[in-house]
Structure 1
């Protein structure tokens, strides 16, 4: 992780929806406060974060500037905050809505690769596109 980033997003580069969101975040990352790391990039080692690839594939993770690893909806708030758009994700932290957003995200995380086809992405046909990558824990 580059220490100049306020937050580093660990994202699934095989997920069409994830790639679109990362491209959008990259376009708003004018001050370079958000680091972006594809967990499928050559040389990426999930063990560096104490995780397996399957664990990182199960839900989104991110790394805070102090090295803490976070996962789930708080990752989106941190990533959007790093690009100056935390207000867009603020409702995900409100007590009355937090649980709903957590449930919706958990469903999305399990189905994200199949949902990519709804957004015009080519349907994924190989083992690399599985939420369960076959690497590490199952």
Structure 2
């Protein structure tokens, strides 16, 4: 498992772990994760393809495929909160992730995410058609 170092409130180095589950069968998802991997130069994130035969699912596989999930320091997150955790682990996106710690901002991001989920099947179909 990859570890990322950070300083705790006392100034000591603490290790955080971040795992991100994604749908490797979704062309939209694989493109997004490819971008996140490129941005994750410190290799702070462990990306796990839920569509893979050897994926270890900490919760129901269907739930992992329906919404974006991440586990940050042992805490399972989904939706906008999971995206925010991933952003915090990537230096260039960290300001967005920190902003999402604000309840109002996170609530707005979650509302936007729920709207995205409504059009996700159409977007997946469009991306699959483009790849064919």
Stretch deviating more after TM superposition (34-43 or 83-92): 83-92
TM-score relative to the length of structure 2: 0.74
Structure 1 contact 59–106 (Cα < 8 Å) conserved? no
Could you say which residue in structure 2 is the equivalent of 1:122? 128
Give 1:24's match in structure 2, choosing from 7, 19, 35: 35
Could you say which residue in structure 1 is the equivalent of 2:119? 111
Greater fraction strand: 2
Cα distance in 2 between the residues matched to 1:95 and 1:64: 18
TM-score relative to the length of structure 1: 0.71
Higher relative contact order (CA 8 A, sep 6+): 1
Structure 2 gaps, min length 5: 5-16
* Residues 1-138 of structure 1 aligned to structure 2 (within 5 Å): 2-4=1-3, 6-46=17-57, 49=58, 51-65=59-73, 67-84=74-91, 85-118=93-126, 121-123=127-129
After superposition, the CA RMSD in angstroms is: 2.3
Structure 1 gaps, min length 5: 124-138
